[in-house]
Amino acid sequence: MVQGYQENYRRSIEDPDGFWGQAAEEIHWEKRWNRVLDDRTPPFYRWFSGGVLNTCYNAVDRHVEGGRAEQAAVIYDSPVSGNKQVLTYRQFRDQVARFAGVLRNLGVQKGDRVIVYMPMIPEAMVAMLACARIGAIHSVVFGGFAARELATRIEDARPKVVVSASCGLEPKRIVPYKPLLDQAIELSRAKPECTIIYQRPQESAPMVSGHDHDWEELMAGASPVDCVPLEATDPLYILYTSGTTGKPKGVVRDNGGHAVALKWTMKAIYDIDPGEVYWAASDIGWVVGHSYIVYGPLLQGCTTILYEGKPVGTPDPGAFWRVVSEHGVNALFTAPTAIRAIKREDPAGEHMQRYDIQSLRTLFLAGERCDPDTLLWSQAKLGVPVIDHWWQTETGWGIAANCMGLERLPVKPGSPTKAAPGYDVRILDESGDPVEAGKIGSIVVKLPLPPGCLPTLWNDDEGYINSYLSTYQGHYLTGDAGYQDEEAYLFIMSRIDDIINVAGHRLSTGAMEEVLSAHPDVAECAVVGVADELKGEIPVGFVVLKAGVQRDEKEIASELVQAVRDKIGPVAAFKTAMVVKRLPKTRSGKILRGTIKKIADGREYRVPATIDDPVVLEEITDSLKGIGYTRKV
């Protein structure tokens, strides 16, 4: 790999065949490709057409055969159950091969779909890799997802088999999965032929004879099977975007481009070598879990951490640092909201000081916009580089990043640095014209997207074009708004829908959040634009205070209003900041700004299936009423 960000970026844009062809040499191919970039049917670009490989072989078997058989592949750490387990590459390969035999015995063939509806346990990873081994297409649905949402995914993917577990574990409760799965199957017009249930000791699921199969019993009677050669353009998995309504959007990931891109990112972006320990503190139900708990680290021959716990409360704000210390983690990847939760409970970093975390070289943040205060706090407390990077379910890996394995560029708080090699990022206005440096516009990527990004939506080419490619001809619409500065650093300010129009002025709620989060008493915040008869929209801020703050809330709110006025100006018309106990979030940590806006505007809203705790919405409603904001509530 050539060092230097600029040279890599230039080559990736000017010579994508040469750039990605070289990266593909790191993957084992049964048959080499005919074309690196197949651009014969735009906008449906394909990568490594004609190439034949198997992702499971590259992620598991290759390392067993190459000398890493006794190296830890997966470290399972579950503070909610008290269990820990280490699986070597040989042990993991043997389980994956045997479960592939289980699926084969149930009639699962190449191209069949298998839904994986499981908690954060090693068996979930085994199921995913077993599908990849035989060419079945897995679709992981977040464990404990509402029955109706699971039903829409069953109906769209039409799986032959659903793999699940008896329950998931939260810090203070057990979540039975089988009733949710049974209800989802009943609601769906598509019916799987059978289910496989892994019985956890905390909860035993009732089984229907002939339809529900016990994981352990099937494994005991199965023989291991070998990897099946697959076309590079064959689908590896379907991942449905969170919060979908009606027909869900099933993001498709192919085998070839996905393997090449993720293997490349492990060194180029994360600077992680084979044999090192990598931890993505996410969930396998989300894209981060797919890319960087399961596939990326294993393709690189790393040890990956599978963590069934929380950043706080399992048992305290030192949970992450305990894992880093105990398992020698070299790179940690988590969401800014996790760090904010830790910071809120332990602002002085006292829990961090209880552990030896010298193994940690870098903290990577993604999943939502990282405010500068969170980045700077992390940097000061950890004493290591803190790297914000930006990507989406659809892309599967970073659109913009400080590529630590190529060249460590100066960090600009509030920016995920520059576009990663492969992404030709542009900022366009509503007419499709480029905007000048420093001006907010729609962030798009000029086609073709690099390897590893979605080639289409599952059984919905038209939806793929309408959702992503129709707004700006020849460009992929990210849905985010932001700007580039004079040095081409990207600043992701908000979703396009969160750019508010205040008396004719287009303003970013993200910029206001940046001001609020810099206040010494604020742990996290959200700003939404609410309807206003005079100005069209006005911003309203919601803030959660750090633990231990005892000051008068009205005084803090007044300081926040003044801070926005000082930093952004009176044009923002920011006059309301309210202190709330917590903000409504998805289980992946994203703040539900759109739902807050609907509550403030008095519009009907659907409680999102991904919400962490629906009670928070009632608290937000009460807060708005408490300040006399009853006209729209």
- Do 421 and 566 lie in a common domain? no
Residues 6+ apart with CB under 8 A from 512: 527, 539, 541, 564, 568, 572, 574
- Structure confidence at residue 602 (pLDDT): 81
Is 179's pLDDT higher than 70?
Answer: yes
Residues 246-255: tens digit of each pLDDT: 567 999 999 9
What's the CA gap between 278 and 332, in Å, rounded? 6
- When pLDDT is cut at 50, 70 and 90, the band that residue 244 belongs to is very low
Greater model confidence, 622 or 78: 78
* CA 619 to chain CA mean position, Å: 27
Q: Which of 466, 482, 498 is the endpoint of a domain?
A: 482
- Whether residue 628 has pLDDT greater than 80: no
Quick check: 543 and 579 in contact, CB under 8 A? yes
DSSP tally for the chain: helices H, then strands E: 20, 31
CA separation for the pair 28, 266 (Å, rounded): 16
Q: State the Cα–Cα distance between residues 299 and 262, nearest whole angstrom.
A: 8
Identify whether residues 81 and 159 lie together within a single domain. yes
Q: Could you give the CA distance from residue 305 to residue 292 in angstroms, rounded to a whole number?
A: 10
Please give the average per-residue pLDDT across 264-283, as a whole number.
97
Q: Between residues 547 and 218, which one has the greater pLDDT?
A: 218
pLDDT greater than 80 at residue 24: yes
Based on the structure, what is the number of domains in the chain?
2
Quickly list H helices, 548-614. 553-567, 593-601
Q: Tell me the torsion sign for CA atoms 108, 112, 118, 123.
A: positive
The CA distance from 55 to 232, in Å, is 9
d(CA 57, CA 360): 29
Q: What is the pLDDT of residue 245?
A: 42
Residue 344 belongs to a domain = no
Residue 559 identity = E
For residue 380, give Cα distances in angstroms to 324, 352, 417.
Answer: 17, 12, 19
Domain final position from 421, 448, 482: 482
Which pLDDT band, with edges at 50, 70 and 90, does 510 fall under?
confident
DSSP code of residue 256:
H
For the chain, how far is it from start to end, CA to CA, in angstroms? 57
196 part of a folded domain: yes
- The residues that bridge with 52 in the sheet, in sequence order, are 31, 231
User: Do 579 and 456 share a structural domain?
Assistant: no
Residue 370 placed within a domain? no
Residues forming a β-bridge with 380: none
Of 283-287, 511-515, 625-629, which one has max mean pLDDT?
A: 283-287
Confidence band for 597, pLDDT divided at 50, 70 and 90: confident
Measuring CA to CA, how many Å separate 205 from each of 165, 329, 488? 8, 35, 54
Nearest CA to 55 among 272, 265, 236, 224? 236
Q: What is the pLDDT of residue 631?
A: 42
pLDDT at 278 (0 to 100) = 98
Residue 592 main-chain phi, psi, to 5 deg: -85, 70
> Average pLDDT for residues 26-42, to the nearest whole number?
97
CATH number of the domain bearing residue 527: 3.30.300.30
Neighbouring CB atoms inside 10 A of 626's CB total 11
What CATH number is associated with residue 122? 3.40.50.12780
Tens of pLDDT, residues 481-490: 999 999 999 9
Q: How far apart are CA 389 and CA 425, in angstroms?
A: 14
Domain range for 451: 5-309+389-482
d(CA 526, CA 616): 14
In a 13 Å sphere around the CA of 139, the CA atoms on its Cβ side amount to 29
C-alpha atoms less than 13 angstroms from C-alpha of 463 in its C-beta half-sphere: 13
Do 513 and 454 share a structural domain?
no
**In this structure, is residue 291 part of a structural domain?**
yes
Percent of the chain at pLDDT exceeding 90 = 78
Q: pLDDT tier at 624 (50, 70, 90 boundaries)?
A: confident
pLDDT, tens digit (0-9, with 9 covering 90-100), for 89-119: 999 999 999 999 999 999 999 999 999 999 9
Which of the four pLDDT bands, split at 50, 70 and 90, describes residue 243?
Answer: very low
Q: In this model, does residue 3 exceed pLDDT 80?
A: no
Q: What pLDDT is stored for residue 566 in this prediction?
A: 84
What tokens appear for 282 in the block? 């996410």
Instruction: Please tell me the least confidently modeled range out of 63-77, 80-94, 242-256, 314-328.
Output: 242-256
Map residue 333 onto helix, strand or coil. Answer: strand
CB 104 within 8 A of CB 134: yes
CA 302 to CA 305: how far, in whole Å? 10
pTM of the model: 0.86
Q: Output b/e per residue, 221-237; b: 16+ Cβ within 10 A.
A: ebeebebbebbbbbbbb
Whether the per-residue pLDDT at 242 is higher than 80: the answer is no
Phi first, then psi: give them for residue 110, nearest 5 degrees: -55, 130
350 in any annotated domain:
no
| pLDDT at residue number 500 | 75
Q: How far apart are CA 48 and CA 558, in angstroms?
A: 58
Q: Do 510 and 476 share a structural domain?
A: no
Task: Examine the domain organization and report whether 168 and 282 are in the same domain.
Answer: yes
Please indicate, yes or no, whether residues 126 and 187 belong to a single structural domain of this protein: yes
472 and 512, same domain (yes or no) = no
Quote the distance between the C-alpha of residue 472 and its chain's center.
25
Tell me: do 475 and 517 sit in the same domain: no
Q: Are residues 539 and 455 in the same domain?
A: no
User: For residues 345 and 275, what is the distance between their CA atoms, to the nearest angstrom?
Assistant: 34
Q: Which of 64-73, 234-243, 550-559 has the lowest mean pLDDT?
A: 234-243
pLDDT (average), residues 490-518 = 79
Beta-bridged to residue 83, according to DSSP, are: 78
Mean pLDDT of 564-587: 85
Dihedral (C-alpha) 45, 48, 49, 55: value to the nearest 10 degrees? Answer: -110
pLDDT tens digit string along 349-363?
999 999 999 999 999
- Is residue 375 classed as helix, strand or coil in its secondary structure? helix
Task: Give residue 619's pLDDT band: very low, low, confident or very high (50, 70, 90).
Answer: confident
Residues in the chain: 633
Task: With respect to residue 489, please indicate whether it lies within any of the assigned structural domains.
Answer: no
Q: Mean pLDDT, to the nearest integer, of 574-582?
A: 91
Residue 363 lies in a domain: no
Q: How far is CA 96 from the centre of its chain?
A: 24
Residue 364 within a domain = no
- Residue 437: count of CB within 10 angstroms of its CB: 13
Q: Are 300 and 406 members of one domain?
A: yes
- Answer yes or no: do 393 and 521 share one domain: no
Q: Give 632's pLDDT tier (boundaries 50, 70, 90).
A: very low
